[in-house]
Structure 1
Amino acid sequence: MENIFSKKLTFSQFLKFVMPAIISMVFISFYTIVDGIFVSNFVGSDALASINIVLPLINLVFGFAVMIGTGGSAVIAIKLGEKKIEESKNTFSALMIFSFVFSLILGIILCFFMKDISYLLGATDRLIDYSITYGIIIAFFTPVFVIKSLVEFFIRTDGDFKFSLFISIIGGVINIVLDYVFIVIFGYGIGGAALATGLGALISLLIGLLYFRREKSTLKFIKPKFDFKIIKDVCINGSSEMVTELSTGITTLLFNYLALKYAGEDGVAALTIILYAHFLLISTYLGFSAGVSPIISYNYGARNYKKLKEVLKYSKYFLAFSSIFIFIFSITFAKGIVQVFVDPSNNTYFLALKGLYIFSFAFLAVGFNVFASGLFTSLSNGKISAIISFARAFLFVIIGALIFPTLFEIDGLWLIVPFAELLTLLIDIFFIKEYKDFYHLEF
């Protein structure tokens, strides 16, 4: 691992190193979007809208997984950098057991109260049946989604990015195949989409767990000594990512309300398409952040500041080039992206197309914001990471929601996220300058 994380790399070698994590996240977003494509084309736009109604619950589940995954990866990678191998194994095992128990309880609660929760999240009488069906099946698989996410995080932390990518691709391919079987052949509707997602994650998880039984893996399951202080520290350190996911859930709820207010169920369907496109296009940054974080944590723990400087410099180059490319791509191919989900004769098409044109300006800043939050998490400074995430995903979004829809109605809804991303960029610059000397942050 020392050779993998600390050896000098060229920019092309650096990209090759982080590319499996990027591809993995892009692929995850892609097969999530495939669910939406199958539902939209074979079940209907109301079913597509109902997925967005349930989305805050999915944000809650993955928020917990990402909190443990990012916070735990940083703590474990630093211990590995300090050569504390047994401590890293103990932390890994304790986090997996804790996460399974917590997610099991959470899933049971969600299953029992799905109808009430769906109405609370804004489901109309037209959408409620779809929301309940999709939500209950997803809730049933809660422990699977959580542990599968952690397995991918910790395999990358252990230094095997390719195997993490492999299990992600396997799960995605199975999901897509089962989408076709359950929705198109068997006619299971929106329930088939949820079932395909759950089973794809389950098979991916089972394969992933085999990794930790391999001789070459550093992280292995042991009977852990539970230190709840470490679990608390992991939760605090990863809280920024939890804040991001929960804030995304809250803002999605707000966006659903505004979309219903100004454009009805068609507005919610258009919003769902834009959020799918957003998830696909920013998944590059989410994957990059996940891929580069173990390198930053390891070298910070090993006090290899020369390597840290190299990684940050290459990160800056990647973020600058990719931000411009993704912005141009989203503008150029907006019509094709929207048309995948809905026919141009549908009113939802025009709402989504105009929305995506406006929304695309967020891609110029979002990469830097995702990386800045992940950077401070990698350095075990969950407080600053949480501030950045809270400002980006909640505070500035709420401010934008109070201003733009009042002035521009449905078009104002699409302006909120670009506004929030731009202001967050200023927060990033402030904190990086503030902590430049403390963490040896030389870009």
Structure 2
Amino acid sequence: MNQELFGITPPKQLFAKLAIPSLISMLFSSIYMIADGMFVGKIIGSHALAAINLVFPIIMVVFAVGDMIAAGASVKIGIKLGEKEEKEANNIFTVAFLLMLVINSVFMILSLLFAKDIIFILIKDKHLADLSYRFAYVFILALPIIAPLFALDNYLRLCGKANLSMWVNIVVSVLNIILDAILIGYFKLGIEYAALSSVLSMSIGTIICLYPFITKKVALRFTKPKIHVKELLYIVYNGSSEFLSNISGSIISIITNGFLLYYSGPVGVAAFSIVMYVDALISPLLFGMIDSIQPAISYNYGAKNYERITTFFKITCIAGFTISIVTMIIIFTLPDFLVGLFSSKSDVDIIHMGKIALLLSAPSYLFNWFTMTVGSFLTGLEKATASIVVMLVESVILPLVLIVVLTKIVGVYGIFLVPSVGGVISVAIAFILWRKCVKEEFQNKF
């Protein structure tokens, strides 16, 4: 199945077969995120919206560990399948899944012990801190069952089950919206019930994803694990760029929220959360499309089909640029409509600042697609070091430097400019690394 799908199917046809289901599933996930923001912002209130924006980066730090293991293991699994070593691929899959369960269980215990104190230390506004903790507590209790969802979704696509992955995401998203409508829209319950909607729907998604692996209906299956320290270290190392990207993004978000609270208070945090919700529609589309092709990259790398990898890169770049340019046009054309989705008419200050934030950050979409593409392809080609460099520059170094420099120059508006200014610099660095690490090394193979 994998040989026919990943190794023989024409690149354009394979890209469509992998990317379209991923785009649809990410679209539904994004719609659920937007609907969640609308229910919270319009019904519970702008403080609840700000609270979620403050605490969600902390939750994402925990999810980042699962993403690291999934990304690192998926590359190795794809290469082993390309090399026709199915037994070893199954062992890596099993070990990676067990490792995720153990780590997430440990995180759950530690979070139950220390999360409340950490949140109240980080968030000085007691009302915001209380709302944030109530939201986070529900996620903490469900960590062992919801965190594996992202990895299992990735493994389904690795097995050529992109359509099943798509339908799982659709079910999770639609169920989440329905629960939001009932618990928040109809019963007018609090912020913890917004979290409960997400947790219940994600738990069902995990169960659905597990079924084909347990019943041995896909190429990968659970087997008696043989744990090799070297293999575990490889999984962690190769997935470290994904982990650092996620965790650094969360840390930068926490720092950004601190600057926003300093320069403009809860209004600034709520305004920037609108930008984040709009971005939650676009970035997952780009990430889903780019990430969907990674199993084919790893498989063809293991099978030494280097020319196909080059073709995949070109197709991905064209698609990424198209999505991004359309996004930027929509933002510049309909800023009032987009801001109005997440705020009530009485929140005049939030609407005004949210519109400015949206317009200043919009140009970043011209550049981010390329950096995401390069990072994903480098990971798929086992170029973890280069991928980490791209990630560190884009997600850590530039945001930290720019947020300090730009806020000194233009105040709070400098925070909104960071994605656009950083995008210009990071895309240049990503291009140089791509040329150096891939084109030069494989110049005799393409």
State the one-letter code of the partner of 2:373: F
Name the CA distance, whole Å, in 1 between partners of 2:442 and 2:321. 22
One of 426, 429, 434 as aligned partner of 2:428: 426
Say yes or no: does 1:366 pair with 2:368. Answer: yes
Alignment match, 1:403: 405
Could you report, residue by residue, the CA deviation over 1:92-128 in whole angstroms, capped at 9, with x for unpaired residues? 0111011001001102211222221112332412312
Cα distance, 1:422 vs structure 2: 1.4
- The one of 418, 422, 441 equivalent to 1:438 is 441
Shift of the 206–433 alpha-carbon distance from structure 1 to 2, 3 Å rule, reads: same
Shift of 1:290: 1.3
CA shift digits 1:69-103 (9 cap, x unpaired): 21111110000000000000000011101100100
Q: CA shift at 1:187, angstroms?
A: 3.1
Q: How does 1:156-235 map to 2 (within 5 A)?
A: 156-235=157-236
Alpha-carbon distance between aligned partners in 2 of 1:115 and 1:252, rounded to the nearest angstrom: 19
Task: Tell me what 1:263 maps to.
Answer: 264
Give SS of 1:113's match: helix
Q: Judging changes above 3 Å, is the alpha-carbon distance between structure 1 residues 235 and 174 closer, same or farther for their aligned structure 2 residues?
A: same
SS in 1 for 2:71: helix
- Number of the residue aligned with 1:61: 62
Task: Look up the SS of the partner of 1:341 in the other structure.
Answer: coil
Moved more, 19-28 or 71-80: 19-28
The 3 A distance-change label for structure 1 pair 15 and 121 is: farther
In structure 1, how many angstroms separate the alpha carbons of the residues matched to 2:145 and 2:44? 26
SS in 2 for 1:438: coil
Cα RMSD of the aligned pairs, angstroms, is: 1.7
Cα 1:302/1:13, change in 2 over 3 Å: closer
Aligned residue number for residue 77 of structure 1 = 78
TM-score in terms of structure 2 length? 0.95
Distance 1:388 1:368 in 2: 11
Q: Which amino acid aligns with 1:418?
A: S
User: What residue is the counterpart of 1:286 in the other structure?
Assistant: 287
Residues of 1 paired with 2:145 and 2:291: CA distance?
20
Shift of 1:8: 4.3
Aligned counterparts of 2:59 and 2:365: Cα–Cα separation in 1: 23
Partner Cα separation in structure 2 for residue 13 and residue 203 of structure 1: 29
Give the corresponding residue for 1:241: 242
Does structure 2 retain, via aligned residues, the 8 Å contact 1:392–1:421? yes
Q: Is structure 2 residue 388 aligned with structure 1 residue 386?
A: yes
**TM-score (norm. length: structure 1):** 0.96
Instruction: Indicate the SS of the match to 2:286.
Output: helix
SS in 2 for 1:422: helix
Is 25-34 or 356-365 further displaced after alignment?
25-34
Report deviation, 1:344.
Answer: 3.9
8 Å contact from structure 1 (residues 309, 442) kept in 2 = no
Partners of 1:338 and 1:32 in 2: how far apart?
Answer: 15
Deviates more, 1:81-90 or 1:230-239: 230-239
Deviations 1:152-188 (CA, angstroms, capped at 9, x unpaired): 0111111110111111111111111111222233333
Which of 418-427 and 316-325 deviates more? 316-325
**How far 1:223 sits from its partner (Å)?**
1.5
Contact 1:55 1:252 in 2 (8 A): no
Equivalent-residue separation in structure 2 for 1:286 and 1:12 (angstroms): 19
Contact 2:5 2:14 in 1 (8 A): no
* Contact 1:243-1:386 within 8 A present in 2 as well: yes
Residue pair 2:376, 2:387 contacting (<8 A) in 1 also: yes
The one-letter code sitting in structure 1 at the alignment partner of 2:372 is V
Distance 2:172 2:129 in 1: 29
How far did 1:191 drift? 0.6
User: Amino acid of the residue matched to residue 440 of structure 2?
Assistant: D
Q: Quick check: 1:36–1:341 contact (8 Å CA) kept in 2?
A: yes
Q: How many residues align?
A: 443
Contact in 1 for aligned 2:159/2:220 (Cα 8 Å): yes
The corresponding residue for 2:91 is 90
Summarize deviations over 1:121-147 as a string: whole Å, max 9, x none: 324123122111001111112222321
1:309 deviation in Å?
2.3
Opposite residue 19 of structure 2, the aligned amino acid is V
CA contact (8 A) 2:11 2:311 kept: no
Q: Secondary structure at the match of 2:127?
A: coil
Instruction: Give the superposition deviation at 1:12.
Output: 6.0
Q: Distance in 2 between matches of 1:364 and 1:157?
A: 29
Check 1:393–1:335 CA distance in 2 against 1; reply closer, same or farther (3 A cut): same
Instruction: Specify the alignment match of 1:49 in structure 2.
Output: 50
Deviations 1:342-381, CA, capped at 9 Å, x for gaps: 0344111111111000100100001111111111110112
Q: Which runs of structure 2 are paired with 1:350-361 in the superposition (5 Å)?
A: 350-361=352-363
Bigger shift: residues 20-29 or 220-229? 20-29
Work out whether residues 39 and 184 of structure 2, in 8 Å CA contact, stay in contact via their aligned partners in 1: yes
Q: Where does structure 2 lack aligned partners over 5 or more consecutive residues?
A: none
* 8 Å Cα contact 2:403/2:415 also seen in 1: yes
Q: CA deviation at 1:441?
A: 10
Give the AA of the match of 2:214.
R
